Each structure stands twice: as structure tokens, then as C-alpha cells.
Amino acid sequence: MALPEKQVPAVHHRRIGDILVTTVSDGYLDGSMAVIQNIEPEAAAQMLRDAFRPVPRRTAVNCFLIRSGGRTALVDTGCGGAMAATGGKLFENLAATGVDPAAIDTVLLTHMHPDHSNGLSDAAGKALFPNAELVMHAAEHAFWHDDAAMAKADDSSRERNFMACRAQAAPYRARLRLHEGGEVFPGVTAMPFPGHTPGHSGYMVVSGQDSLLIWGDIIHVPEIQIPRPEVTMAFDIDPGQAQATRRRVFDMVATDGQAVAGMHMHFPGFLHLVRRGEGYAMINDGWYPAM
């Protein structure tokens, strides 16, 4: 009997009251330790080794389906086909959920970095979610379409970020909705979390007494940034603001016992934060067969 060569589809469902939230993995990215900042490199590597994680870092990429009120939204679209062979698995895993991309009526972006928005369109400029409205914070769209900001960026950022963002969003020009916070989908409220990017946003899902905060890129490397929230990433547009936002969100979710889901948490990405002394620790949610 042949041994399997890959895992079962990386899909996980969670009920939030009457709303169904489904983690759909886009895969993972292996990347340089050099982007981890405000910590000594060897200290960062040791924290990963102590947690039995790969060095250099391995970063999960998650997207989230939200099915609410007879409608279907997708939060972020993953890496597409332009980053790494280990990423870009969204559509393969989406098929396992039984959801056709054409049935998704809303795409909610946390922000427009390539591992979150490169799955919007294909290389020919065709929208991969042909019936979806594209929703993001007004400041996010404005920043990546600002020629002055693009002129200040290095060559890599101009191509991988500014130009890619513009190309990915272009097919949705007639179906673009910009927000500054507030309800953006039935039971879903956008919460601006600026710093990582100007319009970086989380999405609070609420139904009845149950809630879940999809917090976007509040963290990238959980084993390091949860106990050391001062650690920033090279791709934070405003590292000081990103750090302040992270501390504010950590305090909020720990105080409230708020359930959280993250784009770069280990699949399926659900957790709680608790205080440990002057810092924090993560409690990953268990897997339960019942929904």
C-alpha cells in the first residue's frame, strides 16, 4: 500500500453563534531571520529552538471564510502563485470546503502585503473571485496607490508591494468598498489596527454571546512576539506604531478573554492570550470534532 505524500486538506471549522468561520490554509513560507527586529538574532533563534520550531523561521499563512446570513466572505487571499511553492494553497483547500470562489460575495482584506492579497487576481489580470466586492480600509488603498510613497520605496518593495497591490486590486475597481472601521459584513466589524501598514485592520465576528477577533498580522512569529511584544518586523511600515498597536490588542484580548484567530498563527490559528507575569502566553485552542 502506497504511503500518503501530503496531508488531508487544511480546513478547520468553528461556530461563532450562528456564524460559521472556517480556517483555510494557504500553506506556509520559510523566511530569513534578518527581518525579525528589536531583538538579538541569536536570542530570536534560541526562542524558536526552545519552542521546537524551525530555524530559520517558518510562517503559517491562513485565510478565513465567514458564512453569515446566507452570505459568504473571505478574509485575505493568501500568496497566490508568485511567492513560494509552499504557499498559494488557498484554492486547493477552498475546494475541500465545497465553496466555489464564484460564490464568495465579499473579500475582506486585513491589508495588502503580498501574502494576503496576491490571491485576488491571476497573472493575466483576471479576478479570481469574479462576483466578490473587495473591501479594505481607506488608508490601506490610499497608501499603496500613492505614487510619492512608492517613489520612496526600494526596488524590491516597489515591485513586490506597490506594483503587485495595484495589479491585484485593479480587476475589482468597479466593486471596491473602502471603510474606516464599523460593520462591513453581517456580524463582522472592522477594527483599525495601524502600524504594520497604514490601514491594517482586524475583523471582530459576533453572533449572540459568542465572538472571535481575526486580528490579521498583529504577530508574525508567535513564539517570539507574544512573550516579547516589542519585537517588530522589517516589513512593518511604522514599527513604533505596530508595537504600540500589538500591546494595545494584547491587553484587550487578555483582559476580555477574547478568542482570537491569526493569519500567521499555526494552523488552524485559533488561540487565547493570558498574562504571565509582566508578559503574555498563548493558549492554542484544541481541535474538537463537534461544530
Residues 270 and 119: their CA atoms lie apart, in Å, by: 22
Range of the domain at 212: 11-284
Q: Is pLDDT at 288 greater than 90 in this prediction? A: no
Domain count along the chain: 1
Q: Is pLDDT at 280 greater than 90 in this prediction? A: yes
> Average pLDDT of 119-128?
96
Q: Is pLDDT at 195 greater than 90 in this prediction? A: yes
Residues 57 and 223: beta-carbon distance below 8 Å: no
Condensed to tens digits (0 to 9), the pLDDT of residues 131-179 reads 999 999 999 999 999 999 999 999 989 999 999 999 999 999 999 999 9
Q: What pLDDT, on the 0 to 100 scale, is given for residue 287?
A: 84
Q: Is pLDDT at 278 greater than 90 in this prediction? A: no
Q: What pLDDT, on the 0 to 100 scale, is given for residue 286?
A: 85
> Is 102 inside a domain boundary?
yes
> Is 1 inside a domain boundary?
no
> Is 132 inside a domain boundary?
yes
Determine if the pTM surpasses 0.95.
yes
Which set of grid coordinates corresponds to residue 209? 454571546
Considering only residues 102 and 288, tell me which one the structure prediction assigns the higher pLDDT.
102
> Is 3 inside a domain boundary?
no
Q: How confident is the model at residue 6 (pLDDT cuts 50, 70, 90)?
A: confident
> Is 4 inside a domain boundary?
no
Q: How confident is the model at residue 291 (pLDDT cuts 50, 70, 90)?
A: confident
> Is 2 inside a domain boundary?
no
Condensed to tens digits (0 to 9), the pLDDT of residues 44-103 reads 999 999 999 999 999 999 999 999 999 999 999 999 998 999 999 999 999 999 999 999
Q: What pLDDT, on the 0 to 100 scale, is given for residue 290?
A: 78
E-strand spans in 138-257? 176-179, 182-185, 188-192, 201-207, 210-214, 232-233
Q: Is pLDDT at 185 greater than 90 in this prediction? A: yes
Q: Is pLDDT at 202 greater than 80 in this prediction? A: yes
DSSP secondary structure string for all residues of 49-78: HHTT--SS-EEEEEEEEEEETTEEEEE---
Residues 203 and 110: beta-carbon distance below 8 Å: yes
- The CATH number assigned to the domain holding 155 equals 3.60.15.10
Q: How confident is the model at residue 10 (pLDDT cuts 50, 70, 90)?
A: very high
SS3 42: helix
> Is 291 inside a domain boundary?
no
> Average pLDDT of 205-210?
98
> Is 226 inside a domain boundary?
yes
